[in-house]
Chains A and B, each alone.
Chain A
Amino acid sequence: MSGTARIERRRNVQLRLSVNGEDTEVSFAPYKTLLELLREDLGLTGTKHGCELGECGACAVLIDGEPQLSCLKLAIECEGRAVETIEGLARGNALHPLQAAFADHGGSQCGYCTPGVIMTAKALLEREPNPSRDRIREATAGNLCRCTGYQQIVDAIEHAASELRGEAK
């Protein structure tokens, strides 16, 4: 590759998208993934990474409501899309029921996989408000967690689901 081509590749590009409900305009290096854009250019470090190869699920965010691995998504593909990250979940100072349930029921130990799991669970509960434990396990099978053994993650999602359905005691 010639020197000029290399400099061209470094030239920032401009992108507009919605991040956690806010219109956002950002200038960034075009080779970046959505993960890198969020963490490095937008300062949203709540989204984590464990491989950057699509293997661990730590980087899951919602794009137009769909759970996606942000490490496999080029940022420039996100023009005009709506991206939701863990930072956009709480309402004011109040935790989202999923966040509260993870904190209270042991769903988060080191907390590193947590943002990815919670975003995946959010997409599940929006589609299926009353999933079985097996269904929860299936939906989160792409999110590796080395700490919890998953059981308390499933507990937390069940609790949050019942809270969201308005059944919580």
Chain B
Amino acid sequence: MSAPRKRLEVVGKSRRRVDGRAKVLGQLRFADDLQLPRMLHAKLLRSPQPHAVIESIDVQRARAHPGVHLVLTGKDFPVPFGIMPVSQDEYPLAPERVRYVGDPVAAVIARDEQTAGEALELIEVKYRALPTIATPEEALAHPETRIHDYGESGNIHRNQAYEFGDVDEALAHSDHVFDDVFFYEGNTHLPIEQQASLAAIDGEGKLLLSSSTQNPHYLHRQLARVLQMPASQIRVIACSNGGGFGGKCDPGGHEFVVCKAALLLGRPVKIGLTRQEVFYVHRGRHPVLMRLRTGVSQDGRLTAMHLQTLLDGGAYGSHGPAATFYSGVLTPVTYELPRFKFEACRVFTNKPACGPKRGHGTPQPRFGQEIQLDKIAEKLALDPAELRLGMVTRPGSLTASWLRVGTTGLAECIRKVVEMSGWKDKHRKLPAGRGVGIACSTYMCGAGVSIYWNKMPHSGVQLLVDRSGQVTVFCGSTEIGQGSDDVLAAIVAEVLGVDTGVVRCVTGDTAITPVDLGSYSSRVTIMMGNAAVQAAERMREQFAGAVAEQLGTTPERVVFSQGRVFAAEDPGRGMSFAEAVAITESKLGTLSAVGSYTPPKPPGKYKGGGVGPSPAYSFSACVVEVEVDEKTGWIHVPKIWIAHDIGRAINPVLARGQVIGSVYMGLGEALMEEQAFRRLPPKLSGALVHRIPSMLDYKSLTALDMPEVEVALIEDPDPNCPFGAKEVGQGPLLPVMPAVANAIYDAVGVRIDELPITPDKVLAALELKAAGKPPRIGPERFPEVPYPKPMFVLPPWEGGDGNESKMPRPLGVAAS
């Protein structure tokens, strides 16, 4: 039933977010704020060795220490875990082998943290050191030092290749071919809240874990697996997260440890990770080396691209299989690209595992591509903004790789930032030392497939309404600061014509909320939102049917607005929302409605074609201005302009906050953030360690460093999205890094083809320039990677049907 059209009353209006009050009062309970009677405290012993066999662990003295209740080791956890079914390669406590400095090997549960910490020092672990792998190049060169005994071969975890149309042939016929190598250093999420978890056994004997997790549903499944107990006996509550950014997506060893301890001891057990441990747990941005060979026609159109990526995965699988795909699959979504070949390889190294960080795998190739476009524009003597405008993908089109581009506001985004920033008067026109750069990007609104294969909905919402007029909405979605509870309340309030103040959100609790897959891949607004629209519309239908007669109209003519329910033809008469509920409850009994959402089937049917499709894509364009001090290499960013195609902003103040927060994180990645490691000298074990795992050494922008950001939200509602709203939490990060690099080139004429762009690199490039050498800092070459033979798929416009097909030209025959 479609209700009479009314103007939007909640959606699109800036409002205090529904959880705002509790946050500013300090009343919101994060995981570490929870305390229970008889609660014990856990601490983990972590490996000081980057790669070693555990020969023995002696816990006798720790066990005997006064105040210690339990000591656990790898023996207590025979079953491994891993967020992806194909990478179950990690144990809560390492049983036989440690693979990075920080790998947990034992746990002490004691009356307080102090005692647990003392007892950790009494545990004696004998390690036999193994050779360590520090870089992807070493990983490829030393297959005999195997970090894992699964994967493709040697230290290659994932290795894949796809070709959509004959790329070599297209490159051979292009007017120009640009061949560039880029490097994107790894970096970490650095949420201000360190992970914390509290496990307890409830009155019914069931396990309850309250945790700082972005994905309670996946954690729930993993707990059942590792603890070998039925999922029905486990309840996971995702506390509000103090920032996630992807860092709380993987289950953590500590979460299994406190659960196991609570089950054994029958007492609540809590753990709070230290900042140092948060650096060890990591799961952050993969360091990626990439090569882009791109063909271009003289008039500035892309003909083909061959993208190769090499990902440094760290010590475990984590989300690696997905990250490997994402290091390329979204590349063709922004600009028309007739043919595309994509090879990707993820290797293991003896460093903390990499995983999903805001943008998950996609910022790295976007960085390379958007800098390369700047080089292309210069070579073709085109304005970089015009070059991009001339080749944006069309709404509803398919990419060579069979992704369906839905609505796109990219052209509008480009025009908007060009106008806001005064681009035309600045680019190549500012005095020496000052410059502007532009870059664009796209991101998906939710992954089209779940992390484990199933045919069930990706999000479910349940509504309860009773005669009090209060609306309670249940959803497994997780509030990590992005405002998902507010989106949920706003959507329900809009459909039912009430204020968000009467909507109570109950979220992220596997015992009482319908499954939602979690806060990742920018899926929540779209998937939870669509489920919420369905549930609320079904509820509204019940009300309309029940009250129509009394209002002297038909159900279709009943309007829900501003807490009132009335007939469209007679708005003056009518009843309060609560009265309408009471009438309906008298007629129908107790009231409830459910809604759910499953993403559409992707058009690409080839194996692997499930990663990349999304119900919708957001787009962004960004202009960054820089001032570079040629004497010191110091980079100052006075201002950033960004336009983001959001479809529709549910709560503009929050949407703008997501955009600015993304720009902030992107600027940090551009200028300073790096998860860097070094080798200790041989006499200090030669171990591979973090430079220093602390917030002082891991540089991030402060309020003083952060420029003002001017934001434009481009609103063109997308039919696949609730009220047209696309994602905003990740996309706006993506264009920032290449825009900074391009601005530096405009300012001082040097190319920094790797991140972060630090003053020393700028200085080194300026010295090259002064010496008459190519003024570029970046990786010199791309190593030989043994990629497999590509799966060949014909693009839609070459007669393909979305399945794998035969390469038209036999392999090994040169393109003519």
Contacts and interface: CB of A to CB of B under 8 A. Distances in A.
Interface of A: 29, 31, 39-40, 43-53, 55-56, 58, 85-87, 89-90, 95, 98-100, 102-106, 108-115, 118, 136-138, 140-154
Contacts of A138: 703-704
B422 interface: no
Interface in B19-39: 19-30, 32-33, 35
B277 to A, nearest CB: 11
Contact of A146 (B30, B32, B35, B665): B665
Interface string B703-728: 11010110000000000000000000
B110 to A, nearest CB: 12
Interface hub of B26, B114, B274, B706 (most chain A Cβ within 10 A): B26
Contacts of A140: 703
Given A50-B275, A53-B275, A152 B21 contact: no
A145 B192 CA distance: 7
B815 interface: no
Given A45-B29, A110-B192, A114-B23, 9 more contacts: A52-B274, A53-B275, A53-B694, A106-B657, A112-B242, A138-B704, A146-B245, A146-B700, A148-B664
B26 A85 contact: yes
Contact of B696 (A50, A55, A110): A55
A50 B661 contact: no
B16 A149 contact: no
Interface string B634-673: 0000000000000000000110110011111100000000
Contact of A144 (B192, B194, B480): B192
A89 B244 CA distance: 27
A146 B190 contact: yes
Nearest to A139: B703
Contact of B24 (A39, A50, A99): A99
Contacts of B16: 103-104
Contacts of B661: 109, 146-149
B420 to A, nearest CB: 16
Contacts of B245: 146
A110 B275 contact: no
Question: 4 smallest A-B Cβ distances: which pairs?
Answer: A46-B26, A110-B481, A112-B242, A111-B23
Interface hub of A136, A138, A144 (most chain B Cβ within 10 A): A144
Interface residues of B, number: 58
A156 B656 CA distance: 14
Interface in B217-265: 240-245
Contact of A106 (B28, B241, B654, B708): B654
Contacts of B114: 29, 31
Contacts of B696: 53, 55
A56 B192 contact: yes
Contact of A109 (B21, B32, B481, B694): B481
A85 B624 CA distance: 39
B242 A141 contact: no
Contacts of A55: 275, 694-696
Contact of A137 (B24, B29, B35, B704): B704
A146 B703 contact: no
B481 A147 contact: yes
A102 B30 CA distance: 19
Contacts of B480: 110
B159 interface: no
Given A56-B192, A146-B189, A153-B703, A106 B656 contact: yes
Given A113-B192, A146-B191, A103 B660 contact: no
Contacts of B483: 109
B20 A104 contact: yes
Nearest to A1: B118
B483 to A, nearest CB: 7
Given A110-B480, A151-B709, A99 B25 contact: yes
B702 A144 contact: yes
B442 interface: no
Interface string B676-708: 000000000000000000111000111110101
B176 to A, nearest CB: 38
A95 B704 contact: no
A111 B481 contact: yes
Contacts of A110: 23, 191-193, 240-244, 480-481
B192 A48 contact: yes
A90 B695 contact: no
Nearest to A145: B192
A148 B660 contact: yes
B530 interface: no
A118 B194 contact: no
A165 B97 CA distance: 62
Interface in B189-217: 189-194
B350 interface: no
Contacts of B189: 146
